[in-house]
Amino acid sequence: MKKVSNDPNQSNSASNSSSLVRVEQAGTNDQNIQKVHAILLREKSEPSEGYKPTPIFLASIVTAVLCMGGVYAYNNSGDLDPLVYDHRYDPRLKSTAGVETKLSPEQFVAAGKRLFGTCASCHQATGAGVPGVFPPLAGSEWVLGNEERLIRVLLHGLNGPIVVKGNNYNGVMPSFGKVPGGGYNWSDEKIAQVLSYIRQDWGNNAALVTKEKVSEILKLEAARDKPWTQAELKAFE
């Protein structure tokens, strides 16, 4: 009589295996295995040294992305104008015309400080100038004096011998205004900003220059097409 065990430790399969013998069937035969491996061996490329050229499709994707980036940057750079960071400035208008860009006096002077980078190559960031070559702006009677004379110097430039703080200079100050032959063509607002800045830094303390005042002087001197001399500017001391 077959004994039925209740012992859970006694494996069922062990007791079954004696009665049910299974022979494992091969999935394939040797011939098939060799055939498959022959294909794999044939298609493996030879190992080689050195670098492979960038695949052409990858190169074209990178080029396309760079081109799109360039177009995007061109369309959205706001002409690289510092005023683009003013939230009231709309770069799509390409100018501040028609947009209310009333800066606070501090912002006005700060904008002038950024513009001053162009002047600093000659007059130096310290405003001290270069002795005998570029006159100082710090403590200069030209900067602190009559704003109408100062505006004229910036708009049309200045040539020939001049005296600044008791020292003689004889150089060429370029013209920055929108004037015939002017190299920089700065707007009246930029002129007003940079002049306001140089009247406020390095211990200078004179009133800010308004854009309207610059426009007024530019209109008065519309016929002028050459730089000023010190003698001519005597009238505006």
- Which chain residues interact with ligand HEC by CB under 6 A? 118-119, 121-123, 134-137, 140, 142-143, 150, 153-154, 158-160, 162, 164, 169-174, 176, 194, 198
Q: How far is the CB of 84 from ligand HEC (least distance, A)?
A: 21
Comparison of 118 and 210: residue with beta carbon closer to ligand HEC: 118
Comparison of 135 and 200: residue with beta carbon closer to ligand HEC: 135
Comparison of 25 and 201: residue with beta carbon closer to ligand HEC: 201
Check if the beta carbon of residue 190 is closer than 8 Å to that of residue 178.
Answer: no
Q: How far is the CB of 192 from ligand HEC (least distance, A)?
A: 11
| φ and ψ at residue 161, rounded to 5 degrees | -65, 135
Cα separation, 224 vs 40, in Å, equals 87
Q: How far is the CB of 197 from ligand HEC (least distance, A)?
A: 8
Contacts of 114 (CB under 8 A, 6+ apart): 82
**In whole angstroms, how far apart are CA 191 and each of 51, 107, 114?**
57, 14, 12
Q: How far is the CB of 88 from ligand HEC (least distance, A)?
A: 25
Q: How far is the CB of 209 from ligand HEC (least distance, A)?
A: 11
Comparison of 29 and 121: residue with beta carbon closer to ligand HEC: 121
**In whole angstroms, how far apart are CA 18 and each of 1, 8, 42, 59, 226?**
17, 19, 47, 67, 118
Q: CA 204, 194, 110, 207: dihedral to nearest 10 degrees?
A: 40
Comparison of 109 and 194: residue with beta carbon closer to ligand HEC: 194
E strands in 149-215: 158-164, 167-173
Three-state secondary-structure class, residue 129: coil
Comparison of 111 and 154: residue with beta carbon closer to ligand HEC: 154
Q: How far is the CB of 54 from ligand HEC (least distance, A)?
A: 46
Q: Which two tokens stand for residue 179?
A: 């004037």
